[in-house]
Amino acid sequence: MDKYYSKTHEWVKTDGEEAIVGISEYAAADLGDITFVDLPREGTDLICGDSIGTIESVSASSDVYSPVSGTVTAVNHALDDDPGIISSSAEGKGWLYKLDNIDPTEVDELMSEEEYAEYLETL
């Protein structure tokens, strides 16, 4: 699967019309210890760029934006009990949700891993 990043620090791995979404290691480190995650429900239709959830740490709160449009097919419920998984594995076990029916043209607008690394240098 190919991996892409948004300027708001979400990552998306795509395979055809399916995708997995999470927040980048940079965003997770920036938030600090994560204490709470609010995610969209299965079956919800998300629109690219919409604020679709909240991630909170001890001292900060951050909105999650959907990097692509699609229908939520699965949510990472392991995060309900242990949101700290995002802090330790933001781009692995700390994935947020899976999507179907994504629009591949929206993926073209996102950054590749190399482009994202360059983008982080500018921050």
Partner 1 sequence: MDETLLKTPLADEHVALGARMVPFAGWFMPVQYKEGILAEHKYTREHVSLFDICHMGEFTAAGPGAAEALDAALARSVADQKDGVCRYNFLLNEAGGVIDDLIVYRMGAEEFFIVVNAARIAADFAELRKRLPASVKLENLSDSMAKFDLQGPDSTAVLTSLGLDAAALPKYYHWGKFELFGLDMLISRTGYTGELGFELYFDAAHAVDVWRKLLACPGVKPAGLGARDTLRLEMGYPLYGDEMDESTTPVEAGFGAMLKLDKSERVFVGSDALRTVPPKKHLRGLVLEGRRAAHTGTPVLLNGTQAGTITSGTFAPSLGCAVAMAYFDASAEIPADAEFEVELHRAVVKAKLAPLPFWTHGTANPKE
Tokens (6 digits) for 77 = 């419920």
Cα gap 22→12, rounded to integer Å: 7
Structure tokens at 36: 């709470």
- For residue 3, the minimal CB distance to partner 1 (Å) is 26
Regarding 56 and contact with partner 1 (CB under 8 A), the answer is: yes
**Stretch binding partner 1 (CB under 8 A), from 12-20, 69-77, 81-89, 106-114:** 81-89
According to the binding rule CB under 8 A, does residue 32 interact with partner 1?
A: yes
**β-strands 61-65, 51-57 pairing:** antiparallel
DSSP for residue 59:
S
Residues that bind partner 1 (CB under 8 A): 32-33, 35-36, 38, 53-54, 56-59, 61, 63, 83-84, 87
